[in-house]
Amino acid sequence: MTKPTTRTKSSKAIARPAPATPRQAVNVQSAPGATSEERRTDIQHALLAPETRAAVALCAVAQRTGGGQVDIPDAMSILRKQAAAVQSGDLSQVEAMLMNQANTLEAIFTNLATKAANAEYIPTMEALLKLGLRAQNQCRATLETLATIKAPPVIFAKQANISQGHQQVNNGKAHAHAPENHFQQNELLEAKPYEPMDTRAPRQASGINSSMATMETINRG
């Protein structure tokens, strides 16, 4: 009679590689043969880069919220690629980010509204509703921004002659038009003030038509 064979697990455990420790330093590379001044400038450029600041902020938030540590060089590389995509016109990452933010704000509003409904005291209910409505308003603004990115509004603007500082605004030559006709016979004759006075000396009587005489007095009776 044969005995049943049993299989036993090997006592040797499979060795797994230990997870790599996230890097918390920023790698700065300088050109070969760079002077100390040039290396210092490269360090300042690296520290002031947008992806560096964002990666450091993400690392601080992750440690504060218990989300683990962030590998700063890897985060900088990802952020740099996302910025390059936006600069090239690809806004898919931006649209996804705004949609996720809107969902998060909606969850915050729902949570606060539920707590306000279960509150026993009016001051507590009022405080929760104020915070909830702020989250709801921010959610609306986020969705409005997303809609504007997806379908920008069409603007019809007329040309405005606005000069900032000492500038000259030229809108091209004016179109030629027919001159206006002035009909003197249709205008009222009126005295024009400030007529120029004749300052010349009076002339002597002319000898022409000497046969003419002074008229007699008119009898108006």
Q: What is the pLDDT of residues 18-44, one digit of tens each?
A: 567 878 778 888 888 888 898 899 889
In the DSSP assignment, the letter for residue 2 is P
Please return the burial class of 105, using the count of CB atoms within 10 Å of its CB with bins 0-12, 13-18 and 19+.
buried
pLDDT at 57 over 70: yes
Is-contact 105 139, C-beta < 8 A?
Answer: yes
2-14 mean pLDDT = 56
- Give the C-alpha separation, 94 to 106, whole Å: 18
Range 48-58 average pLDDT: 90
Model pTM? 0.56
114 pLDDT more than 90: yes
